[in-house]
Amino acid sequence: MLQETIEPAWLDAFAAVLGRCALKAGDTVAVLSESQSRPVLPELARLAAARLGARVFSIVLPSVFSGELPVARSTGASPVLRKIAPVVSALAASTLVVDCTVEGLMHAPELPAILQGGARVLYVSNEHPEALARLLPDETLEPLVKEHVKRLRSAREMRVTSPSGTDLAIDLQGAACGGNWGTTTRPGTITHWPGGLALAFPARGSVQGTLVLAEGDVNLTFKRYLEKPVTLRIEDDYVTRIEGSGLDAELMRSYIAGWGDREAYAVSHVGYGLNRAARWDSMALYDKRDFNGTELRAFAGNFLYSTGANEVAGRHTLGHFDLPLRHCTVRLDGSTVVEAGKLLA
């Protein structure tokens, strides 16, 4: 297990990312964390912001637990703010919010109010700092992501196939498309570090077909490489059958059923990874507690399929799977952007 004492290289990495977020002396920085946050992350954020001359304050909230629902992981919707008005107001009035909550504020219900106040938000994924330092955003990632977001927004259909049997048709008309490169400089925006992916949240009734998770593909909710294939049959956005004989299929069937919520079976978002510095094999080298998995969402050429909440389609649930697949071919209106798991230039 890696230790979490502060290292100079990690502090340099935080200062570099905050600098790329256009933080300057005199700006106000709110460092948001919770009782179960990885302690080294908010500490690095505070020190890095202070190094750049910002005025820094911290908000630490108690983590929220439920004894009635299944364990929630990989949701991107931290519940810790609990709509506490003074907290939301303080965050909204800041120049930059460094979000060190465990799940992040990407899908939290309070996020729109924070962004409408003019704050920009940097979610620091709950990774070990070593992984964050390896995946520093650079000047090449932002234009690459922007180009692929433009392609997503102009496309009418995404088609995904693989040698394992995936054949998925995704109607992109009415989808909300976006991307992430790990920094943000505009008020009222959010990003996450590590970054490097382009995503679409499809409108209702947009996804049909078969998704085959092959050996070596990833279930990030479980932080597990699949050892046996799992086949998802998808009709009008919803997984109608989870087929497979191994433990991976059994775990998926059990966990998703545990929510007792049909929306947990629906599509959340689809997209593909663009970060050539990110590695598919990195999860094998970390203990589960040291790894959140954003790197595997972003590694170049993966196809990312996620189930659960989708605001565009009016669906809300805490049940969520993030499923990065290798070796897929992704086409936008017939034009190939990923071929057999390789991101095309």
Q: What is the pLDDT along the chain (345 residues), one digit of tens a residue?
A: 578 889 999 999 999 999 999 999 999 999 999 999 999 999 999 999 999 999 999 999 999 987 777 888 878 888 999 999 999 999 999 999 999 999 999 989 999 999 999 999 999 999 999 999 999 999 999 999 999 999 999 999 999 999 999 999 999 999 999 999 999 999 999 999 999 999 999 999 999 999 999 999 999 999 999 999 999 999 999 999 999 999 999 999 999 999 999 999 999 999 999 999 999 999 999 999 899 999 999 999 999 999 998 999 999 888 999 999 999 999 999 999 999 999 998
Indicate whether 2 belongs to any domain: no
Helix or strand holding residue 15 (H, E) = helix 8-20
Helix (H) or strand (E) holding 49: helix 40-51
| Angle subtended at Cα 335 by Cα 233 and Cα 265, rounded to the nearest 5 degrees | 20
Q: Using an 8 Å Cβ cutoff, are 126 and 292 in contact?
A: yes
User: Same domain for 161 and 310?
Assistant: yes
Tell me the DSSP string of 208-233: EEEEEE-TT-EETTTTEE-SS-EEEE
Round to the nearest angstrom and report the end-to-end CA distance of the chain. Answer: 37
Same-domain check for residues 230 and 324: yes
**Which of residues 117, 134, 151 is at a domain's end?**
134
Residues 83 and 118 grouped into a single domain: yes
Q: What is the pLDDT of residue 322?
A: 96
Q: 155 and 81: one domain?
A: no
Nearest to 117 by CA among 183, 57, 185, 188: 188
Cβ pair 223, 296 in contact under 8 A: no
Residue 51 included in any domain: yes
| 105 and 80 within one domain | yes
- Of 134, 155, 177, which closes a domain? 134
Judge whether 193 and 183 are in contact, CB under 8 Å.
yes
Q: In whole angstroms, what is the distance from residue 64 CA to residue 97 CA?
A: 20
Instruction: Using CA atoms of 200, 255, 318, 263 in order, give the dihedral in degrees to the nearest 10.
Output: 60
Note the pTM of the prediction, 2 decimals: 0.94
What is the predicted pLDDT for the residue at 240? 98
Instruction: Report yes or no on 220 lying in a domain.
Output: yes
Q: Which residue among 113, 134, 155 closes a domain? A: 134
DSSP conformational letter for 308: S
Q: Which of 318, 21, 39 is nearest to 193 (CA)?
A: 21
Whole domain around residue 118: which residue ranges?
8-134
The reply to whether 128 and 39 lie within a common domain is: yes
pLDDT of residue 1: 59
275, 299 Cβ separation under 8 angstroms:
yes
User: 164 with 269, same domain?
Assistant: yes
Query: Is there a single domain that holds both residue 167 and residue 119?
Result: no
- If one counts the domains in the chain, the total is 2
What CATH number did the domain enclosing 105 receive?
3.40.50.2300
